[in-house]
Chains A and B, each alone.
Chain A
Amino acid sequence: MAIQSIARDQRDSTDSSKPAARTSTPSSDELGRWRRRAGRVILYLLLAAGAAIMLFPFFWMVSSSLKTFQEVNLSPPTLFPADPQWSNYADAWTAPPSGFARYFLNSLLVAVVGTSLQLFTGLTAAYAFARMKFRFNNLLFVIVLATMMIPFEAKIVPNYVLIRQIPLTGGNDLLGAGGSGLYDTYAGMILPGVASAFAIFLLRQAFMAIPRDYWDAVRMDGASHWTFLWRVLIPMTMPAVLTVVLFGFLARWNELLWPLIATQSESIRPVQLGLMSFSGDEGSLYHLLMAATTLVAIPGIIFFLFVQRRFIEGLTAFGVKG
């Protein structure tokens, strides 16, 4: 009896809770919506804060570029220039002996030609590694990957010797002696980077992700390897291709040490060396340096904005992060 009573009480209590639950349903939904909205607001605030942190160096660069020599060295620093010095841009543009326009052209040439060559070698090598069967395929690929572990500094002297002693260039004889080879030329700046292990790796991974059925299909139509690569693989792996292009372009655009060593003439040097004319062992002209840096950063930023979406797809789709 007692058990029945307890059971009834429990049932009653359960029943009595039902209407209450029904009445509370709209408010829980509201609460849930409110929580989702609050979560979104917090997320956006965090993202905005992150974006502000990321953008602050750019803001600082532009702000400093408009200050006077005295103001840029003030401590505590001023957030905005007291009297914007737009002439800093003109001064920075004309300060180096050849002018920054020349440096821009040089960098553009080196970056475009260098990246194109790197893309060509990357595509063909990656295709071979991904799609062709031959002896020591994996071993050679591992060796290619291993070259990524050699620091650039360790390759400076070998690279220098290589460009200097290339036969029949720059007055060199057949044995690579007697002249200056490709030293102090655009080709000398470009050549050492035309084969990139990273590009080969990324493109190979992308090519391997494409089902083999496509090859079988185009082969039925009598297509060659080249047609398959050009007509099928490249369009299908465009994010990876653009990633290689972007990395290649930015790497060349930002290159400093190699052009410094491989060139002597100021007139063929790239923008990064132009920036060095505002900073030395005995101090820096920060206001001009920041003005010149702003100008130099613009092409890279524009290029990134154009290929941004594909670039991110490329990084996430083929296993390369960070």
Chain B
Amino acid sequence: MTTKNSSRRNILPSIVLISSLLVTSCAAGSGSQAGSENAGATSAGIDETTLPEGVEIDFWHIQATIYGEAITEMVEEFNATNEWGIVVNESFKGSYQELNQAVRASLAGGGSPDVTMAYENDTLEYLANDVIVPLDPYLESEKYGVTEEEIDDMVDGVLARQRVDAYNGSTLSWPHGNSSMGMYYNADLFKKAGIEAPPADWDEFMEQARQMKEETGLPYVALGTGKNGIYYNIMRSKGTTPYDPEAGTTEFASPVSIEALELLAGLYEEELAYTAADTEQEFTNERTASEIGTTARTSTKIEQIGDRFDWTVALTPQESEEPVTQLFGGNHVILASDDSEQELAAWLFMRWFAGTDAQAIYAARTGYSPAVESALETELLTTNYEENPQKAAAFENVFVNAQIMPPTAAGNAIDDMVTGVVEEVVLGRLTPQEAADRMDAEATTLLASAPQN
């Protein structure tokens, strides 16, 4: 009898503990994944929509520091001036990776933002999950769309990335404001070494590097730890796109790739280049004559360098008819909701953000270049570029030539792999031929295993 009672009494702690375990393990609930119920929205249907006053939308982004302050200022401006009374609630969500984690969680549990920043790889992922709103009906809407002039006003590379091949003819994103890969150079040091202008091609780049070392004893260029960017840039400047996600092929084993790797290996072997975690510090502290990096850092360089030396930013060397460099940064996308008014309000905010006035604010406050050329004509940006000629150079010399790499779900994995292999080359552990063969084999496998849309 006692044993039986004791057993009954002892059931209670078991139940309590099992309940605790359930709380601890936090089992996934039945996620209410947003479906793109309005994916079939038409321009005519959108035109008929009358937006009620005070629609609230959530906007998630990755911008902190001066970029975050600029976003706050722009959102406040939009909230105060938009004719529909739309209220945008902006929220900083960390890095792109953390933002993507937050979006994934929200897609599973509800509460996804109306507008979020996203790279093409993320956009492809959202497309595969049917949670992204195609923008073409909005673009074509008579009442809420954009005109041909507005489209033509957009910088070529920025417009192209909103409707890449992988989107199957749709426009899935709209500009946020971007940067590009440029070559910052110390004009005083160049003059000291007897160099008149930045290099036009890679042979001249190598010659100048040797000349700089000989005349000043300084290395010619500082490169970051992620070597995939400069390697892609050399290949693309020679007219070769490193890989083709649709065909599943790569050019990593091509003669152009070998040339690029030999160039990089030579720069390191002759101690004309070196790797730095923070290339900006190397450049601003005059430990190198040039730096290859993102033009987003132009504004911070202006502040750090002051009038200590003369410098500017140029396009990296080019050897093909169409100059090209890397385009960095994300876009805006609309995540599907079951409310067409929310989606329309999201589009109107995105349209405003990519417009002349907003892009002028963004480019004036930060190191980003404007997505539309008309922003250059605004008083705000005209004054800002006059006061900061390096920012104007970043736009005119570099940004207008920037194009993204072909997007693929395997993009990040390929970038990591290429960075690792190129590092082995500059350290002398692999020959360019060995590296090329390895990159070709590994990238082909990665492309084949990536879920393409």
User: A-side interface residues toward B, CB under 8 Å?
Assistant: 69-70, 73-75, 97, 121, 124-125, 128-129, 132-136, 140, 143-144, 147, 150, 153, 155-165, 176-177, 180, 183, 192, 194-195, 197, 257, 260-261, 264-266, 273, 276-285
Identify the closest chain B residue to A177 (Cβ).
Answer: B32
* Structural contact, B13 and A69, CB atoms closer than 8 A: no
* Structural contact, B20 and A280, CB atoms closer than 8 A: no
User: Is residue B96 contacting chain A, with contact meaning CB distance below 8 A?
Assistant: yes
Chain B 259-289 near chain A by CB (<8 Å), digits 1 or 0: 0000000000000000000001110110100
* Structural contact, B104 and A157, CB atoms closer than 8 A: yes
Instruction: Specify which of B14, B65, B68, B282 lies most central, judged by the most chain A CB atoms within 10 Å of its CB.
Output: B65
* Structural contact, A264 and B58, CB atoms closer than 8 A: yes
* Structural contact, A132 and B10, CB atoms closer than 8 A: yes
C-alpha spacing A125/B13, complex, angstroms: 9
CB distance from B289 to the nearest CB of A (A): 15
Contact partners of A279 in chain B: CB under 8 A: 64-65
C-alpha spacing A101/B235, complex, angstroms: 51
Instruction: Specify which of B27, B294, B300, B366 lies most central, judged by the most chain A CB atoms within 10 Å of its CB.
Output: B300
State which of B21, B65, B98 has its C-beta within 8 Å of the C-beta of A282. B65
C-alpha spacing A264/B285, complex, angstroms: 39
Identify the closest chain B residue to A197 (Cβ).
Answer: B24
Contact partners of A136 in chain B: CB under 8 A: 14
Q: Give how many B residues have a beta carbon under 8 Å from the other chain's beta carbons.
A: 62
* Structural contact, B304 and A69, CB atoms closer than 8 A: yes
Contact partners of A277 in chain B: CB under 8 A: 64-65, 68, 92
C-alpha spacing A281/B282, complex, angstroms: 19
CB distance from B335 to the nearest CB of A (A): 14
Known: A158-B28, A277-B64. 4 other contacts (CB 8 A): A75-B285, A195-B23, A260-B98, A285-B65
CB distance from A49 to the nearest CB of B (A): 27
C-alpha spacing A297/B204, complex, angstroms: 51
Q: Name the 10 nearest CB pairs between A and B, nearest first.
A: A280-B64, A134-B10, A161-B109, A160-B105, A164-B109, A161-B29, A75-B285, A158-B28, A195-B24, A158-B26
User: Is residue B102 contacting chain A, with contact meaning CB distance below 8 A?
Assistant: yes
User: Is residue B297 contacting chain A, with contact meaning CB distance below 8 A?
Assistant: yes
C-alpha spacing A265/B94, complex, angstroms: 14
User: Is residue B31 contacting chain A, with contact meaning CB distance below 8 A?
Assistant: yes
C-alpha spacing A150/B105, complex, angstroms: 17
Contact partners of B304 in chain A: CB under 8 A: 69-70, 73
User: Is residue B62 contacting chain A, with contact meaning CB distance below 8 A?
Assistant: yes
User: Is residue B108 contacting chain A, with contact meaning CB distance below 8 A?
Assistant: yes
* Structural contact, B109 and A264, CB atoms closer than 8 A: no
Contact partners of A150 in chain B: CB under 8 A: 25
User: Is residue B453 contacting chain A, with contact meaning CB distance below 8 A?
Assistant: no
User: Is residue B128 contacting chain A, with contact meaning CB distance below 8 A?
Assistant: no
User: Is residue B11 contacting chain A, with contact meaning CB distance below 8 A?
Assistant: yes
Q: Give the A-B contact count at a CB cut-off of 8 A.
A: 159
Chain B 66-108 near chain A by CB (<8 Å), digits 1 or 0: 0110001000000000000000010111111010011011101
Given known pairs A69-B303, A284-B65, the reply for A134 and B11 (CB within 8 Å) is yes
C-alpha spacing A261/B58, complex, angstroms: 14
C-alpha spacing A278/B64, complex, angstroms: 6
State which of B21, B109, B281 has its C-beta within 8 Å of the C-beta of A144. B21
Identify the closest chain A residue to B27 (Cβ).
Answer: A158
* Structural contact, B26 and A133, CB atoms closer than 8 A: no
A-B contact pairs, 15 of them (CB 8 A): A70-B306, A73-B280, A75-B281, A75-B282, A132-B13, A135-B10, A135-B14, A144-B17, A157-B28, A157-B108, A165-B30, A266-B91, A277-B68, A283-B297, A285-B65
* Structural contact, A140 and B14, CB atoms closer than 8 A: yes
User: Is residue B392 contacting chain A, with contact meaning CB distance below 8 A?
Assistant: no
CB distance from A145 to the nearest CB of B (A): 11
C-alpha spacing A194/B89, complex, angstroms: 30
CB distance from A189 to the nearest CB of B (A): 14
C-alpha spacing A150/B27, complex, angstroms: 12
C-alpha spacing A75/B277, complex, angstroms: 13
State which of B20, B63, B95, B105 has its C-beta within 8 Å of the C-beta of A261. B105
* Structural contact, A161 and B64, CB atoms closer than 8 A: no
Contact partners of B108 in chain A: CB under 8 A: 157, 160-161
Contact partners of B28 in chain A: CB under 8 A: 157-158, 161-162
Identify the closest chain A residue to B18 (Cβ).
Answer: A140
User: Is residue B16 contacting chain A, with contact meaning CB distance below 8 A?
Assistant: yes
C-alpha spacing A132/B6, complex, angstroms: 11
User: Is residue B110 contacting chain A, with contact meaning CB distance below 8 A?
Assistant: yes
State which of A70, A143, A280 has its C-beta within 8 Å of the C-beta of B65. A280
Contact partners of B297 in chain A: CB under 8 A: 282-283
* Structural contact, A280 and B62, CB atoms closer than 8 A: yes
User: Is residue B296 contacting chain A, with contact meaning CB distance below 8 A?
Assistant: yes
C-alpha spacing A273/B94, complex, angstroms: 9
C-alpha spacing A197/B17, complex, angstroms: 12
Contact partners of A133 in chain B: CB under 8 A: 10
Contact partners of B229 in chain A: CB under 8 A: none
* Structural contact, A140 and B63, CB atoms closer than 8 A: no
